[in-house]
């Protein structure tokens, strides 16, 4: 029987903080060339799951298998206030062991923040910090991308640019998982999951018309 190729495989992942059981057996398979979404209410465990997938938090039990390189864009920007955009890019080039910053340059152009290359992070707007955060997560061209609320603070044009970038990454065979507490973007996704009561349930892209996960009815 042929083996189904996957980029990300999660099996029965569980996690408790003290007596609070946050993840109760999350399983998920994503293929290469997939643009996937994961929605869930505030506190559902989305960030906990992503942190487990990228190895920043240990699961209580379960298995995670990632094929290829990983890029993780955390919800909170992890930037140094005293370094400029360019200094961050150079630092991450060295950390990733890249020969050039070519991909980062493309992302900076694509996300329209080249004019801030020599600006220190403490002088950047929240949206521009998030653009840098995303650039640093993507500049090594990872096979699997885990993006936690990646468009927070983006203006509308940047939000649209983000989705066209995500679609292009998918089209070039990357596996992109976008986490959000809202389901606004369901129609942009190939597959949508909802994290609820500690498990991930597939939501048919009929979820396109479903109410947002926070249930505010819009
Ligand atoms: N380090 C921690 N120690 C104890 N409890 C934690 C820790 N991190 C998260 N939690 C708890 O685990 C639950 C899930 O948190 P998590 O941040 O994963 O949710 P989320 O779905 O990402 O929420 P949001 O949409 O608000 O970002 C919450 O009740 C949170 O308070």
66: tokens are: 């990632």
Beta carbons within 8 Å of 92's beta carbon, 6+ residues apart: 104, 136, 139, 140
The whole-model pTM stands at: 0.89
Residue that has been written with the tokens 């900076």 in this structure? 108
Q: Does residue 207 have a pLDDT over 70? A: no
Cβ pair 37, 184 in contact under 8 A: no
Does the beta carbon of 71 sit less than 6 angstroms from any atom of ligand 1?
A: no
Residue nearest to ligand 1 atom 16, measured at CA: 45
The Cα–Cα gap between 136 and 127 comes to: 14
Q: Which ligand 1 atom sits closest to the C-alpha of 50?
A: 18
Distance 48 CA to ligand 1 centre (A): 6
CA angle, 129 then 134 then 137, to 5° = 130
Do residues 146 and 73 make contact, with C-beta atoms less than 8 angstroms apart? yes
214 with 41: CB under 8 angstroms?
Answer: yes
Tokens of 28: 């998920």
Is residue 148 pLDDT above 80, yes or no? yes
Q: Which of 39, 43, 181 to mutate to test the pocket of ligand 1 (most atoms within 8 A of CB)?
A: 43
pLDDT tens figures, 149-204: 898 889 999 999 999 999 999 999 999 999 987 777 788 899 999 999 999 998 76
* Model confidence pLDDT, tens digit, residues 5-48: 899 999 999 999 999 999 999 999 999 999 999 999 889 999 99
* pLDDT one-digit tens code per residue, 53-78: 999 999 999 999 999 999 999 988 88
Is the distance from the beta carbon of residue 52 to the nearest atom of ligand 1 less than 6 Å?
Answer: no
Ranges of beta strands (E only) in the chain are: 8-17, 20-30, 34-39, 61-66, 70-73, 144-148, 175-180, 191-196, 199-203
As for the ipTM of the complex, it is: 0.96
């Amino acid at each position: 029987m042929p083996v189904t190729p996957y980029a990300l495989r999660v099996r029965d992942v569980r996690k408790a903080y003290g007596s609070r059981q946050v993840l109760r057996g999350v399983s998920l398979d994503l293929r290469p060339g997939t643009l996937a979404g994961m929605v869930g209410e505030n506190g559902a465990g989305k960030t906990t799951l992503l942190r487990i997938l990228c190895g920043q938090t240990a699961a209580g039990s379960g298995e995670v298998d990632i094929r290829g390189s990983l890029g993780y864009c955390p919800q909170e920007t992890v930037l140094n206030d005293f370094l400029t955009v360019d200094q961050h890019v150079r630092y991450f080039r060295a950390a990733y062991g890249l020969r050039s910053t070519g991909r980062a340059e493309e992302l900076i152009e694509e996300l329209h923040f080249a004019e801030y290359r020599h600006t220190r992070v403490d002088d950047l707007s929240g949206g521009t910090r998030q653009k840098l955060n995303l650039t640093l997560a993507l500049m090594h061209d990872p096979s699997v991308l885990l993006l936690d609320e990646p468009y927070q603070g983006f203006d509308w044009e940047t939000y649209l640019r983000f989705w066209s970038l995500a679609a292009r990454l998918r089209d070039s065979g990357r596996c992109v998982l976008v986490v959000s507490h809202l389901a606004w973007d369901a129609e942009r996704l190939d597959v949508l999951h909802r994290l609820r009561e500690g498990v991930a349930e597939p939501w048919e892209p009929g979820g396109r018309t479903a109410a947002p996960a926070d249930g505010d009815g819009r």
